[in-house]
Amino acid sequence: MPLPTCKAELLKNLKQAYVKLDAEFNTVSSEHERLKMIEGNVSCCDVVAYQIGWTNLLMGWDRQEERGESPSMPAEGFRWNQLGELAQSFYERNSEKKLGQLRREFHETFQALARWIESLTEQEIFQPHQRQWTGDKWAMVKWIQVNTIAPYGSARTKVRRWKREMGLR
């Protein structure tokens, strides 16, 4: 998927990816929400917890830098070669929550992400070297895409495949 070239396109793509993923859970019953049968041995609840976790990390890196701190990337206590363990921490942290509650949190997180993006200038989003945490190679738009829009789409594909295999519509 090509990177958006303006803030409006970024927000449109984000909203579209969020709405499509979230809608997949409309037909998932409580008896199916915790079945770990989606690719990667995860449940619908895990899928949503993962999206919430990464979206919050993304916004957190920027908040940490704004406070003059060096962001913990990808997360406090985790290295980039421990992403599986990081994902597991998202699942465990949310293991007692129902899908409905996670979807509400996902919606709130999505709204916070959209507000954060709205607060940024086009230059901050699309030009490299605007934040230290983005590094030398990527503009912030790339970080936003690979941590939200792209995984929302990938998760939707996996959930749709699982629903087909389960005969859920």
Q: What is the pLDDT of residues 31-81, one digit of tens each?
A: 999 999 999 999 999 999 999 999 999 999 999 999 999 999 999 999 999
User: How high is the pLDDT of residue 1?
Assistant: 75
Rounded Cα–Cα distance for residues 138 and 119 (Å): 19
Q: Which residues of 69-79 are buried (b: 16+ CB within 10 A; e: fewer)?
A: eebeebbeebe
What is the set of domains in the chain, with CATH numbers?
A: 7-166 (1.20.120.450)
What predicted TM-score, i.e. pTM, was given to this entire model? 0.96
Q: What is the mean pLDDT of residues 79-93?
A: 98
Confidence of residue 163 (pLDDT cuts 50, 70, 90): very high
Nearest-CA neighbor of 152 among 17, 55, 19, 57?
17
User: How high is the pLDDT of residue 116?
Assistant: 98
Q: Which two tokens stand for residue 12?
A: 């449109």
C-alpha pair distances (Å), 33 with each of 15, 69, 70, 100, 159: 23, 38, 37, 9, 11
Cβ distance 24 to 159 under 8 Å? yes
Reduce the DSSP state of residue 75 to 3 states and report it. strand
Average pLDDT, the chain: 97
Q: What is the mean pLDDT of residues 124-134?
A: 96
Which positions ≥6 away from 155 have C-beta within 8 Å?
A: 21, 47, 50, 51
Judge whether residue 168 has pLDDT over 90: no
- CA 11-114-26 angle, to 5 degrees, is 85
Q: What is the mean pLDDT of residues 71-95?
A: 97
Q: Please, what sign has the CA dihedral across residues 8, 9, 11, 12?
A: positive
User: How high is the pLDDT of residue 10?
Assistant: 98
C-alpha pair distances (Å), 162 with each of 42, 43, 122, 134: 11, 10, 38, 34
Cβ distance 61 to 24 under 8 Å? no
User: How high is the pLDDT of residue 20?
Assistant: 98
Reduce the DSSP state of residue 139 to 3 states and report it. coil
